[in-house]
Amino acid sequence: MALIFTRPGMRLSLTGLAALLGVAVWTPAAQAQQGNDAGTGTPDRTYPLSVESSPRPEARAIRTNETIVIDGRPDEAAWRDAEIITDFIQSVPSTGMPGTENTVVRVLYDENRLYISAVCYESDMSGIIVPSIVQDFETHDSDMFGVTIDTYLDRRNAFMFLVNPGGALKDGQVYDNSRNYNIPWEGVIDMKVALTDSAWTVEMAIPFTTLRFDPTVEVQDWGFQFSRRIRRKSEDTYWAPLARRELIHRMSRAGTIRGFRGMRPGRNLSVKPYGVGSAASGSLEATGAASTGFDGGFDVKYGITSRLTADATFRTDFSQVEVDQERVNLTRFSLFFPEKRDFFLENAGTFTFGDVSERNIRMGSSLRDFTLFHSRTIGLDGRGLPIPILGGGRVTGQAGGWNLGLMNMQTQARDSTIGPENFTVARIRRNVGGNADVGAIFVNRQATDGAGSFNRSFGVDANIPITANLILNSYLAAVADTSSTGDHWAGRLSVAWRDRVWDASAFYKQVGDAFAPSVGYVRRAGVRHTYATLGAHPTPAVGGILEVNPYAEISRMTDLTGVLVTRDLAAGLGVDFENGSKFTSSYTDRFELLDRQFVLRRDASGVPTVVVPAAAYDFGEFTASYQSNAGKPFSGKLEVTRGGYFSGDRTSLGLGALWRVNRHLAFDLFADRNTIALPDTTIAADVYGGRVNVALSTRLITSAFVQYNGVTDEMFSNVRINFIHAPLSDIFLVYTERRNWATKDRIDHLLSLKVTHLLAF
């Protein structure tokens, strides 16, 4: 066979390449023969392994002086000297069994960069699934190779790099042993992928300026985890064996690579200036944050120490951010919208405080119910319209054994109703006894126009793993402001259990009637909330079924005097199929006591036209949903809800359809239809939308997003072109528009061209 490596889409025989270069060729037989001799640190194994008790693998870091060309072809002689890391073990579908396809990883380094290569052998190259080549691709739908790197060996935090056979990269930071992760983080990395006739191969070069580590330690050991996903088989394998419920960023279960020395961290200084030209009209122009003209600013990142990083921003601009997806609100509480702006998303896990969730455990509440710091309150009003941000700074990292986060932002006045404000957030946490941590937070929102108004939040929290399966979470928080009286305190105590079969959790939470953190989000105040659940995760010996999850839960809320205001009794069943599809169903019996009416619909002038009267209501509803295999070119989701709704009935139908024509083109459609039948009227609340993604390459990506809100009778559209012209440097062309659907009048629009360029020193 003709034997040369080529770029993606071309072919190569590894056997011939080995003959030319002397690089080891791995077959399943060779893998079985070498076992421990490969340097993986794994003993002779009996399968299936007990992944919980299996020792964590180890390998040695090998230093090289040879130049490594990153072209997806691990053909330099230096790769031959690296230790071979193999023997990947399945977590899904056959936990503890060897991977059905061989994966061979090697690690090298020099004084400036860490090098990782992977040869992902394939018995059926035509079966490789690459649904997209966009940055931050959906890893669950794609073949994938991944690595997480714990540079401080604290077994809690790591950098993560995931790549698919099309050359798309998804990178991020992970915190607190898989509890929090930050996908918007981006690091400078040189990475290429190639295809052969029997494998797809990866080469990565990660500058040590991208990875934070302690250069004062002469010899270093780092935590590593390697993962391989074979989508057509719904198979996940890991170097350090994991249970089905665990993922690549569970760093307490990672392996170790030992012997790094003599690395140069660099100056860790980067400057990212931007220039933006905009043309706006309507309410967007009225904000002053997106008016017609030219503007500019910059971001600066500096490594104060090996563990402490400072970020500064001046005249911050977010014109490239996609608009929020429209949602129908059928409750009497405000909706939670997630943060989408990169500056606030980076290192967001450092500032997390509230109803944290434990992975793979039904917790009954989340940060979407209670969080003391929600960055969307900075630079956005209640309607999601921008408020000009003058600038700010952030310091995050570790010092003296503490995890630290400090942020200060200054906004400008927008109009006569919104004056300039200063926002300060300070967060500290300390690891205690391994995986436990305790911490505190302070949040201040202060008017800077001389009015003297403020809103301040304080809190302390703890996350304590009592055993490997049992964890305790708690917090206590208070608010001080200049505008309210009453109970300003909130607290929660929760306990959760998860093992291979069972999961259970319970909590008690109390939120005072005057607890209103203006830089946070609290779904309900003035309540005492009790919750408990029990579920199981058996793996039945039924073909095609991966896991079933029956569960029951109770949620009960009273006001602060003990009067019952909300009660939910629910039972449900989830089924995970081996092909990646999923079915869920549940029945909930509800009780609601409304002490005041709430408005379902208003007319154009804001006058309520449909209301739910104050009264006691007892009703039930059934929900079922099915998500098909998202690894197929066509996939979809159907969700149906039918049952009571206060004094009437509700029927809701949610539809989603995804068509990936190929790795370059995809269509995503969704529709939510809600019909509410009340005693004296029937109303419809519908939202429809769609998105088209076009990826001409991994560096040139276009998306168009259109949605219609039937409640407001408005059409929203957003078109964005993103060209990555250099590492972490972009050109964005964005058009956003809002129209009245009935009159076709354009309410507002924004056209902007934004250019950024990273300068690293």
Phi then psi dihedrals of residue 41, to 5 deg: 75, 10
Q: Tell me, what's the pLDDT at 385?
A: 78
| pLDDT for res 323 | 66
| Predicted local distance difference test score (pLDDT) of residue 12 | 38
Is the pLDDT at 607 greater than 70? The verdict is yes
Output the pLDDT for position 287. 54
Topology at the third CATH level for domain 14-261: Immunoglobulin-like (2.60.40)
Position 312 pLDDT exceeds 90 = yes
Q: CA–CA separation, 151 vs 266, rounded Å?
A: 16
Structure tokens at 151: 């540079």
Q: What confidence tier does 291 reach under pLDDT thresholds 50, 70, 90?
A: low
Q: Assess whether pLDDT exceeds 80 at residue 334.
A: no
Buried b (16+ CB within 10 A) or exposed e, 378-408: bbbeeeebbbbbbbbebbbbbeeeebbbbbb
| Cβ atoms of residues 239 and 90 within 8 Å | no
pLDDT in tens, 11-68: 334 333 333 333 333 333 333 333 333 344 445 678 899 998 899 999 999 999 999 9
**Phi and psi at residue 438, in whole multiples of 5°?**
-130, 150
**Who contacts 429 (Cβ-Cβ below 8 Å, separation ≥6)?**
402, 403, 437, 438, 439
The reported pLDDT for the residue numbered 19 is 32
Between the ranges 5-14, 15-24, 182-191, 613-622, where is the mean pLDDT highest? 613-622
pLDDT of residue 11: 35
Mean pLDDT of 408-419: 88
Contact 61, 258 (CB under 8 A): yes
Q: What is the pLDDT of residue 327?
A: 67
DSSP E strand stretches across 36-77: 58-60, 62-63
Q: Please, which residues have CB within 8 angstroms of residue 298's CB and are 6 or more apart in sequence? A: 271, 272, 273, 274, 313, 314, 315
Phi first, then psi: give them for residue 419, nearest 5 degrees: -95, 175
Beta bridge partners of 509: 492, 529
Between 727 and 517, the higher pLDDT residue: 517
pLDDT > 70: percent of the chain = 91
Return the minimum-mean-pLDDT range out of 1-5, 189-193, 674-678: 1-5
**What residue ranges of the chain are covered by domains with CATH 2.60.40.1190?**
14-261
Residue 292 pLDDT exceeds 70: no
SS3 breakdown of the chain: % helix, strand, coil, rounded to 5?
A: 5, 50, 40
Q: What is the mean pLDDT of the chain?
A: 87
Residue 341 or 379, more confident: 379
Position 8 scores a pLDDT of 34
C-alpha distances in Å from residue 119, one per residue of 25, 54, 230, 574: 10, 25, 13, 36
**pLDDT over threshold 70, residue 758:** yes
Across 28-32, 92-96, 348-352, the highest mean pLDDT is recorded for: 92-96
Cα–Cα distances (Å) from 483 to 364, 370, 631, 678, in that order, read 31, 21, 52, 38
The per-residue pLDDT for 239 is: 98
pLDDT tens-digit readout, 535-562: 999 988 888 899 999 999 999 999 999 9
For the segment 101-120, what is each residue's pLDDT rounded down to a tens digit?
999 999 999 999 999 999 99
Q: Is the pLDDT of residue 732 over 90?
A: yes
Cα 31 to its chain centre, rounded Å, is: 35
Confidence of residue 330 (pLDDT cuts 50, 70, 90): low
**Residue found under tokens 């609290």:** 522
Q: What is the pLDDT of residues 680-691, one digit of tens each?
A: 888 888 999 999
Q: What is the pLDDT of residues 439-466, one digit of tens each?
A: 999 999 999 998 889 999 999 999 999 9
